[in-house]
C-alpha cells in the first residue's frame, strides 16, 4: 500500500511547482503585449526602408556595392543566432542551437569554416559546452534588446563581409506571429539579394510575401547619385533587419515561455487531480482497515466477556 505521508509530500511539491509555473505564465502574458508592440512599431520603418532601398538599387542599375555582390568562393559562413537568456520556454532555445550546430558540422565536412554570433545566455553556454567559441556574445538583454546591440552586430558582419572574412551571413530567430504562435526563421542576411528587396508598394505580411507581385518604382532623380545614396541605405537596412529580428525574437520568447508554462501548469493540475484521487482511495482504505480492526477487537472482547 502506498505511503500516505509520501503521497501528501508529493502533492505539496506539485502544488508548489504549479503555483510557480502559473505565476511565470502570467508574467509572460503581461510582457508579450509590450514586446509585440515594439516589434510591430519597428515593422513599418523596416518595410519603408526596404522599399526605398529596392527603388534606389533599381535606379542605380548595378550590383557593384560590396554587400550586394556574391563572393566567388565559399570559404567561411557566419551564423547569427538569436535566442534567450533564460530557459523554461519549450524548444525556443534548443531548435536553433541544434540547427546551427548541425549546419556548422555539415560545412566543416565540406571544408568550409564557420563562426557564430550568439544573442542570449543559453546559446552562448550551449556552444561553449560543445567547445565552440562565439565570435560575439550578448548576454542579459534578450527580452529587452537595444539598438546598440543591433548596431554592433551589423557593423561586425558588414565589415567582415566587405573584408572577405565571411562569404555568407545567415540569421536565425523566432518570429512572433501572434501572442500564442511563433515561427522559426532562417534568413540570408548577406549578401543582400536583389530579389529580396523587390517589395510591393503596399503593406505586406510575412505569409503573403510570396503570393504577390513584386514591384519597383524607379522614377526618381537623385542628387547625389543613386549609387552614392545606395551606399548610405544598405548599412541602414542591415542594422534595421538585425534590430527587428532582435525585437521579434523577444516577443516570441515571451510567447513561447507563456505557452510552455501554461502547459506545465495544466500537466501539474492533471497530475495533482490523479494523485488526489489515489490519495483519497488509499486513505479511505486505511480508515476502513482501522475500523475493521476496531470492530474485530470489540467483538473479541465481547466473546471473552
How does pLDDT run across 134-159, given as a tens digit for each residue? 999 999 888 888 889 999 999 999 99
Identify the pLDDT of residue 58. 64
What are the b/e assignments for 270-292, b being 16+ CB within 10 Å? Answer: eebeebeeebeeeeeeeeeeeee
Instruction: Give the separation between CA 216 and CA 199, rounded to whole angstroms.
Output: 7
**Phi/psi-derived region of residue 140, left when phi > 0, alpha when psi is between -120 and 50, beta in every other case:** left
What would the grid cell of residue 194 be?
A: 536583389
CATH of domain 27-258: 3.40.1380.10
Q: Give the CA distances from residue 73 to residues 164, 171, 186, 213, in Å, rounded to whole numbers and listed in that order.
A: 10, 20, 22, 32
For residues 240 and 49, the answer to whether their CB atoms sit within 8 Å is yes
What is the distance between the alpha carbons of residues 121 and 111, in angstroms, rounded to a whole number? 29
CA 141 to chain centre: 13
pTM: predicted TM-score of the whole model, two decimal places: 0.76
Q: How far is Cα 58 from Cα 109, in angstroms, rounded to an integer?
A: 39
pLDDT at 274: 83
Mapped onto helix, strand or coil, the DSSP state of residue 191 is coil
Tens-digit pLDDT string for the chain (305 aa): 457 777 888 888 888 888 887 887 777 777 777 777 777 777 777 777 777 777 676 666 656 778 888 888 999 999 999 999 888 888 889 999 999 999 999 999 999 999 999 999 999 999 999 999 999 999 988 888 888 999 999 999 999 999 999 999 999 999 887 767 788 888 898 888 766 665 444 333 444 444 444 454 545 666 677 677 777 888 888 998 899 899 888 888 888 888 878 877 878 878 888 888 887 777 777 777 767 677 766 666 666 65
CA 251/CA 134 separation, integer angstroms: 24
The radius of gyration computed from the CA coordinates of the chain, to the nearest angstrom, equals 29
Q: In angstroms, rounded to a whole number, what is the distance separating the alpha carbons of residues 99 and 184?
A: 11
Report the pLDDT value the prediction gives residue 51, as an integer from 0 to 100: 74
Give the CA distances from residue 93 to residues 29, 130, 250, in Å, rounded to whole numbers and listed in that order: 19, 15, 12
- Which residues face 76 on adjacent strands? 113
DSSP class of residue 242 equals: H
- 3-state helix, strand, coil split of the chain in percent (to 5) is 60, 10, 30
Which pLDDT value is given to residue 52?
A: 72
Cross-strand partners of 185 = 173
Between CA 255 and CA 247 the distance in angstroms is 13
Is the Cα torsion angle 153, 155, 156, 157 positive or negative in sign? positive
Q: Please report the pLDDT score of residue 204 as a whole number.
A: 39
Residue 142: alpha-carbon gap to chain centroid: 9
Exposed (0-12), middle (13-18) or buried (19+): which is 91, by Cβ within 10 Å?
middle
pLDDT of residue 232: 81
The full length of the chain comes to: 305
Amino acid at each position: 500500500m502506498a505511503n500516505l505521508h509520501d503521497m501528501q509530500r508529493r502533492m505539496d511539491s506539485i502544488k508548489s511547482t504549479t503555483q510557480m509555473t502559473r505565476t511565470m505564465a502570467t508574467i509572460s502574458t503581461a510582457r508579450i503585449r509590450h514586446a509585440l508592440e515594439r516589434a510591430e512599431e519597428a515593422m513599418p520603418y523596416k518595410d519603408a526602408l526596404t522599399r526605398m532601398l529596392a527603388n534606389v538599387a533599381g535606379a542605380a542599375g548595378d550590383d557593384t556595392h560590396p554587400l550586394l555582390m556574391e563572393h566567388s568562393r565559399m570559404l567561411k559562413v557566419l551564423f547569427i543566432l538569436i535566442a534567450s537568456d533564460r530557459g523554461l520556454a519549450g524548444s525556443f532555445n534548443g531548435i536553433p542551437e541544434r540547427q546551427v550546430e548541425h549546419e556548422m558540422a555539415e560545412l566543416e565536412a565540406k571544408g568550409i569554416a564557420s563562426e557564430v554570433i550568439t544573442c542570449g545566455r543559453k546559446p552562448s553556454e550551449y556552444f561553449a559546452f560543445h567547445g565552440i567559441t562565439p565570435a560575439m556574445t550578448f548576454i542579459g538583454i534578450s527580452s529587452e534588446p537595444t539598438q546598440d546591440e543591433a548596431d554592433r552586430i551589423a557593423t561586425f558582419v558588414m565589415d567582415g563581409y566587405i573584408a572577405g572574412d565571411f562569404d555568407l551571413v545567415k540569421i536565425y530567430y523566432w518570429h512572433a506571429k501572434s501572442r500564442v504562435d511563433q515561427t522559426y526563421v532562417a534568413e540570408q542576411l548577406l549578401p543582400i539579394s536583389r530579389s529580396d528587396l523587390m517589395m510591393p508598394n503596399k503593406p505586406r505580411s510575412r505569409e503573403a510575401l510570396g503570393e504577390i507581385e513584386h514591384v519597383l518604382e524607379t522614377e526618381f532623380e537623385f542628387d547625389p547619385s543613386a549609387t552614392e545614396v545606395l551606399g548610405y541605405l544598405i548599412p541602414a537596412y542591415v542594422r534595421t533587419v538585425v534590430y527587428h529580428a532582435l525585437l521579434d525574437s523577444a516577443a516570441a520568447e515571451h510567447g513561447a515561455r507563456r505557452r510552455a508554462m501554461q502547459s506545465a501548469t495544466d500537466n501539474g493540475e492533471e497530475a495533482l487531480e490523479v494523485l488526489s484521487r489515489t490519495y483519497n482511495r488509499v486513505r479511505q482504505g486505511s480508515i476502513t482497515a482501522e475500523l475493521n480492526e476496531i470492530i474485530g477487537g470489540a467483538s473479541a472482547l465481547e466473546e471473552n466477556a
